[in-house]
Amino acid sequence: MIALTAAEIVSITQGRLGQGTDPQLVVTGIARIDSRDLSPGDLFVAFEGETLDGHDFVDQARSNGAALSLVTRQVAGPHIVVSDMLEAVSALARHNAQALTSTCTIIGLTGSSGKTSTKDLLASVLEAAGETVAPPGSFNNELGFPLTVLRANLNTKYLVLEMGARGVGHLALLCSIAQPKVGIVLNVGAAHLGEFGDLETTARAKSEVVATLPSDGIAVLNSDDDRVRAMTALTQARCVYFGDSGDALVRAENVIVGADGCAQFDVRISGLASEHVALKVAGRHQVSNALAVAATAISIGISPRAVAEALSQAGPRSPWRMQVEQGANDVTVINDAYNANPDSMQAALLAAADIANGRRLGIVVGEMLELGNQSGPAHVELGTAVAKAAPAWVIAVGSVAEQIESGAVSAGVSPDVISRVDDAPLAIRKALELAQPGDVVLIKASRGIGLEVVAQALVGGGKS
């Protein structure tokens, strides 16, 4: 964040100076909520979560270098008391973003699936062109978003903001904190149908990133998704497309997926020669993500050659997202357990089949959360998709296991191939029993199911 005195932070947050706190004390670092992850000059945000209260860690934060603590009650050491922590952090982020408008390009990225993977690829490309700030992992909600904004300072050339929505109005709120100059919409899919209700409402929520762009902004849109392309009518910004359409700025040609599941392809750029890209992230769905990145980077002035080279060098960054590891007993483990929805499940299953390529494929699959009344049909359909991957064995985890099995069996999988278990610990035991040397094993479910422990156990041969 830009350097601010305690007095300035009080004014911005409408807080009050803690007893004994010097109003001229200067915060020069980053705003953080983890007291263990601090550097001298940082601002410690004593956020009160469901299980931990940041106020209990103020002393630790000070010992680790925090110059000042933002709190909602009196504590020891230099601090500022605010009435609402989220509003205070958002106000600080808004002030920070406004201070950067002349020196930094702010890029907002949303979509029903692929946000984090695309964000990671985009950050890799932009870092080669200038100092870049992007969120670690999936800092894309009402707290993570402003904290990401507060990682940027006057040296930041590009600020990449991943934007998640739980309903209509959420993305407009985030845009009011930090107004993107470039807005990217990847897709409109079935994720969070339990919250949005239908795809039309999902599209309306995602379109807020595009609708709020300034007239000199750029909307980067997936031309292959009709709901995304229709957002053209909602913005005054210049629209740039990626995908297969004839008017797309970038298209993929000659796509080949290797034995490692990574795609190579030529990026055909409108009016220019094509550039070759060899991705180091697994899954053919990453081609579309890479096209979104290419369209964005080229539109803001980065050369196509530099974009292609950076894409070809970009490796995985965020854990548990198509994370391919060689496990014990020559088992290849695909840990994609961070999150799941119907679209990302389909993409992961295709990627796993590509990687297996004749080897035995095992699938450990659990519930896709937040689907509302579409959960039952979606998990039956998931079973059908599992069947198409031709698995040697399947472990269906949790309350939806019967629905997954029903879909798979109806699509031709023998009931003997499928094991149903109640939870992740039982899935570990069953996976260790079923996995054979040379197997490829995909693990995927929504984050709340916790299937990453299955991947860890397979990588460690049961020792994790």
Question: Closest Cα partner for 247 from 269, 225, 231?
Answer: 269
Question: Closest Cα partner for 385 from 446, 425, 344?
Answer: 344
Per-residue pLDDT averaged across 49-60, rounded?
93
Per-residue pLDDT averaged across 389-418, rounded?
97
Kindly state whether residues 26 and 104 are assigned to the same domain.
no
The model's pTM: 0.90
Percentage of the residues of the chain whose pLDDT score is greater than 70: 98
The better pLDDT of the pair 331, 320 is held by 331
Distance separating alpha carbons of residues 32 and 43, to the nearest angstrom: 6
Please enumerate in sequence order all residues whose Cβ is within 8 A of that of 303, keeping only pairs 6 or more positions apart, or say none.
Answer: none
pLDDT digits (tens, 9 = 90+) for 123-133: 999 999 999 99
Kindly state whether residues 42 and 77 are assigned to the same domain.
yes
Kindly state whether residues 253 and 327 are assigned to the same domain.
no
Kindly state whether residues 302 and 431 are assigned to the same domain.
no
> For residue 76, what are its two tokens?
């020891």
Q: Where among 26, 51, 83 does a domain terminate?
A: 83
Question: Closest Cα partner for 17 from 27, 31, 7?
Answer: 7
Kindly state whether residues 306 and 328 are assigned to the same domain.
no
> Is residue 79 domain-resident?
yes
Give the CA-trace dihedral at 437, 442, 445, 448, to 10 degrees.
50
Q: What pLDDT does residue 161 have?
A: 97
Q: What pLDDT does residue 196 have?
A: 78
Question: Closest Cα partner for 66 from 74, 78, 56?
Answer: 78
Range of the domain at 19: 4-83
pLDDT digits (tens, 9 = 90+) for 183-206: 999 999 877 677 778 899 999 999
> Is residue 427 domain-resident?
yes
Q: Which CATH number goes with the domain that contains 33? A: 3.40.1390.10
Kindly state whether residues 126 and 192 are assigned to the same domain.
yes
Confidence of residue 328 (pLDDT cuts 50, 70, 90): confident
pLDDT digits (tens, 9 = 90+) for 154-171: 999 999 999 988 889 999
Q: What pLDDT does residue 375 have?
A: 93
- List alpha helices for 14-166, DSSP H: 58-63, 85-99, 115-127, 144-149
SS3 label, residue 289 = helix
Kindly state whether residues 130 and 268 are assigned to the same domain.
yes
Q: Which CATH number goes with the domain that contains 153? A: 3.40.1190.10
Distance separating alpha carbons of residues 66 and 383, to the nearest angstrom: 50
Per-residue pLDDT averaged across 247-268, rounded?
95
Domain count, the chain: 3
Q: Where among 313, 333, 351 does a domain terminate?
A: 313
Is the four-CA dihedral 45, 51, 55, 60 of positive or negative sign?
A: negative
Q: What pLDDT does residue 22 have?
A: 97
Kindly state whether residues 249 and 367 are assigned to the same domain.
no
The mean-pLDDT minimum among 110-119, 139-148, 255-264, 273-282 falls in 139-148
pLDDT digits (tens, 9 = 90+) for 352-364: 999 999 899 999 9
Strand ranges inside 94-213, DSSP E: 105-110, 132-133, 158-162, 182-185
> Is residue 40 domain-resident?
yes
pLDDT digits (tens, 9 = 90+) for 11-49: 999 999 999 999 999 999 999 999 999 999 999 999 998
Q: Where among 284, 313, 342 does a domain terminate?
A: 313
pLDDT digits (tens, 9 = 90+) for 56-94: 999 999 999 999 999 999 999 999 999 999 999 999 999
> Is residue 274 domain-resident?
yes
Q: Is the pLDDT of residue 146 over 80?
A: yes
pLDDT digits (tens, 9 = 90+) for 227-236: 999 999 999 9
> Is residue 171 domain-resident?
yes
